[in-house]
Structure 1
Amino acid sequence: MFFRKKKKIDIENQEVEVVNEPFNTYGLSDLLHFIKREIGVDLFPKKAIIETRIRLFCEEKNINSFRKLFDEIQYNKEMKQDLVNLLTVNETYFYRELIQLQEAIEFAKTREGVDVLCAPCASGEEVYTISMMFEEDLTFKKRFNIIGIDINSEAIQKAKNGIYNARSLHKLSDNLKEKYFTLVSDKYQIKKEKFLYLDFSQINVFDDKFLSFGKFDIIFSRNMLIYFDEEFRVKAMQKFSKLLKDGGRIYLGHADIVPENEYLQKHGFGSSCYYTKK
């Protein structure tokens, strides 16, 4: 389908009609298949909504068809990352789904030391939350280290900057805000000296380099699987099983559905649910 846009401009007091090159919607399915292969996210159920979003992206980049965008991102890594950032924006906040976090902290006390992975970590609220909970639990005396990863480079940069609005902190007490943040204008800046045992990295969970992070006692992957179809959910579980230490646990989001697979075994239910290696 083609759409022609017209506008009139004045050149030396003469009105001239300019016809922009029409936008060609051909190639959207190929583009969505490519995104699914690259990052696992299945956008076909939201195709109508996504089409509008990607078309606006194309207009900003002066690209007049989905096919041209598809061709461009095969070699233009920066544009490909910009598109990934557009399609993987997730809002979150501090102390989200607290009961599950408390369960994980209690489990952490049974380990010699605790290595934690948050994948994806979005803009870092979950990573900072877990660190705060370790610090605030006076009965927790173990070494801990937390790594947050996400495919969205803008989210990772925000996590590293550690600047958040009041909405993100709405579940925190005034004491916690004062202890771990500095109020700058209407934003809250992380006191980085309070968070020495965490790090952030921009990476795709399906990238083999993902396995170079080592192994973990606890893996949080909350509300990522909801964007995958069954094939990619199983692939994600396979990756996580390789990263999990013996006796370690994986905590997923309440809406995440795990298909039957040969890698992980479910324990418990509701907010107390977790997975271990088979």
Structure 2
Amino acid sequence: MDIPGAPVMTLEDFRMIKEFVAENFGLLLENEKEGYLSAKLLPRLEELRLSTFAEYYAYLKFAPGGAGERLKFISRITNNETYFFREEIQLRVFAEEALPALKEKKLRNDDRTIRIVSAGCSSGEEVYSLAMLVLESGCFAWNWDVKITGVDIDPKVIERAVAGVYSGRAFQSTPGQYQERYFRKCDNGFHVKDSVRAMCSFVQGNLLDLDDIVSESEVDIIFCRNVLIYFNDETVRKIVENFARFLVDGGLLFLGHSESLSRITRRYIPIRFPGAVVYRVRG
């Protein structure tokens, strides 16, 4: 429902903003309606004192302050809902299959470094879930250098991830013993303990440009779950082929349960487990 006196998003405004999002972020807004996008962006028009969405589009595209506004823009339109231990079957494969196999491979090569990236990490629940599973596995107890890096385009969710304070729905799938073992109560909810945080870091960045975040052929495992559904096929291909540059030989890519690379690229081999598929990069 339109707010009386508020700017109205025309079909032409909607078309221009959709094209802007696709060109700059690779994101699809095909299923979004003008009303949804209008409601998300109206607060930005008010703060910038702009009268129309056409003016806002021009500000995003051409104004000197457009770069900073683009970060606020993407924060408004993206969906950052997540929680600890989401998609449990995949995480079980990570803990029970991937980690033991990775340890054996590393020991054969006299290498005690583990590098994991969570691409599209949102507010950090996935990164901390992976860290807890690494600790629980007991595979890397002594003299291992384990680093898990979360990357997201939205600076506000990166701030929340770094703060590491959670409550409510974030724990809807968290085993009780994990919450007791790896969190401490604080005024605003529960704070991730240092034993978990020590192996985790967070960076604001674009999935198409990871060069300043990790080095080529350095990453053992990439998680990019429930992110690619927002991109068109060509952008998905660019993202996952870019991931392949950073994965070690035989490195693994975890996608969301509804995401598939079968018609996107041949750079990966699907490895099938009961209830889950993991992709191994071709050597």
TM-score class, shorter-chain normalisation, is 0.7 to 0.9
Q: Aligned partners of 2:73, 2:181: CA distance in 1, in Å?
A: 37
1:99 correspondence with 2:84 = no
Q: Deviations over 1:85-115 (max 9, x none)?
A: 0112311111111221121223122221421
Instruction: Name 1:33's counterpart in structure 2.
Output: 19
Q: Aligned partners of 1:244, 1:108: CA distance in 2, in Å?
A: 15
Give the 3 Å change call, closer, same or farther, for CA 30–216 of structure 1 in structure 2. Answer: same
Give the 3 Å change call, closer, same or farther, for CA 213–159 of structure 1 in structure 2. Answer: farther
1:241 correspondence with 2:244 = yes
Q: Deviations over 1:120-173 (max 9, x none)?
A: 101000100111111112344454210100001111000000011132123223
1:277 correspondence with 2:265 = no
**Root mean square deviation, CA, Å:** 2.4
Instruction: Name 2:228's counterpart in structure 1.
Output: 225
Letter in 1 for 2:254: Y
Which of the numbers 29, 37, 46 marks the counterpart of 1:43? Answer: 29
Letter in 1 for 2:13: G
Residue 4 of structure 1: how far off its partner (Å): 7.9
Give the 3 Å change call, closer, same or farther, for CA 98–23 of structure 1 in structure 2. Answer: closer
**Structure with higher strand content:** 1
Residue 185 of structure 1: how far off its partner (Å): 3.1
Q: How many residues align?
A: 262
Structure 2 contact 184–191 (Cα < 8 Å) conserved: yes
Letter in 2 for 1:52: A
Larger radius of gyration: 1
Letter in 2 for 1:155: V
Give the 3 Å change call, closer, same or farther, for CA 61–274 of structure 1 in structure 2. Answer: same
SS of alignment partner, residue 46 of structure 1:
coil
Which of the numbers 149, 152, 156 marks the counterpart of 1:150? Answer: 152
Give the 3 Å change call, closer, same or farther, for CA 194–222 of structure 1 in structure 2. Answer: closer
Point out where structure 2 has 5 or more consecutive residues left out of the alignment: 107-112
Instruction: Name 2:121's counterpart in structure 1.
Output: 121
Letter in 2 for 1:86: R
Compute the TM-score of the two structures, normalised by the length of structure 2. Answer: 0.83
Residue 210 of structure 1: how far off its partner (Å): 5.3
Letter in 1 for 2:231: F
Q: Aligned partners of 1:73, 1:144: CA distance in 2, in Å?
A: 39
Residue 213 of structure 1: how far off its partner (Å): 4.2
Compute the TM-score of the two structures, normalised by the length of structure 1. Answer: 0.85
Residue 47 of structure 1: how far off its partner (Å): 3.0
- Which range is displaced more, 160-169 or 24-33? 24-33
Which of the numbers 100, 111, 122 marks the counterpart of 1:109? Answer: 100
